[in-house]
């Protein structure tokens, strides 16, 4: 696990989490229980603060940062896809941020909202609960349906299970 103090700002990691040794968790970052922080992910709480709710997955090579003195609140069982960049202020419970999406400053994303792969949400964007947004810049294209939630409940549990199994099963062999 690669945790870094930044001055008097010290990360905290909840029980049942997996934080890859190639991830970087820096400064004022609080990670709730049962989270998965993937390989190459960076959570930078050097100037601002980051809070992750329980069961959240930050997949490989995602970056989370916030402006100086800002607070990035990421709810429970949120999925932040591979290579996403998150500078937003709030991502509510169960939201999904697709692979390669860019979430700029002062963005708020509602509960169970889905941000499609490669989507860009510019400064100040607000996405309501249970909306599906796509494009550059992002636009709401539909409502989230129960079938989407069912699939993502499965996917979210997959990462909680992975966080629990990595400490037991992952072994360096070289």
User: pLDDT for 135-146, tens place per residue?
Assistant: 999 999 999 999
Residue 174 placed within a domain? no
Residue 14 — very low, low, confident or very high, per pLDDT cuts 50/70/90? very high
Q: What is the mean pLDDT of the chain?
A: 96
Q: Which of 47, 122, 115, 108 is nearest to 84 (CA)?
A: 115
Name the domain count of the chain: 1
The residue segments making up the domain with residue 133 are: 3-169
Residue 164 sits in a domain of what CATH number?
A: 2.160.10.10
What integer pLDDT is reported at residue 2 of this predicted model?
Answer: 86
Q: What is the pLDDT of residues 78-110, one digit of tens each?
A: 999 999 999 989 999 999 999 999 999 999 999
In this prediction, residues 12-41 reach a mean pLDDT of 97
pTM metric for this prediction: 0.95
Q: How far apart are CA 98 and CA 158, in angstroms?
A: 16
Is residue 1 predicted with pLDDT exceeding 90? Answer: no
Q: Can you point out the beta strands (E) in the chain?
A: 3-4, 12-13, 18-19, 24-31, 36-37, 42-52, 57-58, 63-65, 71-74, 79-80, 85-86, 90-91, 96-97, 102-103, 108-109, 114-115, 120-121, 126-127, 131-134, 139-143
In this prediction, residues 157-161 reach a mean pLDDT of 91
């Amino acid at each position: 696990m690669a945790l870094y103090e930044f001055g008097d700002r010290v990360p905290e990691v909840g029980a049942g989490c997996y934080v890859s040794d190639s991830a970087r968790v820096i400064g004022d970052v609080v990670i709730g229980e049962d989270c998965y922080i993937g390989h190459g992910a960076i959570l930078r709480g050097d100037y601002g603060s980051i809070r992750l709710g329980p069961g959240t997955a930050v997949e490989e090579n995602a970056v989370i940062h916030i402006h100086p003195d800002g607070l990035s609140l990421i709810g429970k069982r949120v999925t932040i896809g591979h290579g996403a960049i998150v500078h937003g202020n709030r991502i509510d419970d169960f939201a999904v941020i697709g692979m390669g999406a860019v979430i700029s400053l002062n963005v708020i994303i509602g509960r169970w909202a889905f941000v499609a792969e490669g989507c860009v949400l510019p400064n100040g964007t607000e996405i309501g609960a249970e909306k599906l947004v796509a494009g550059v810049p992002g636009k709401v294209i539909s409502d989230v349906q129960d079938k989407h939630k069912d699939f993502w409940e499965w996917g979210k549990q997959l990462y909680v299970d992975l966080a629990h199994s990595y400490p037991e099963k992952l072994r360096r062999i070289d």
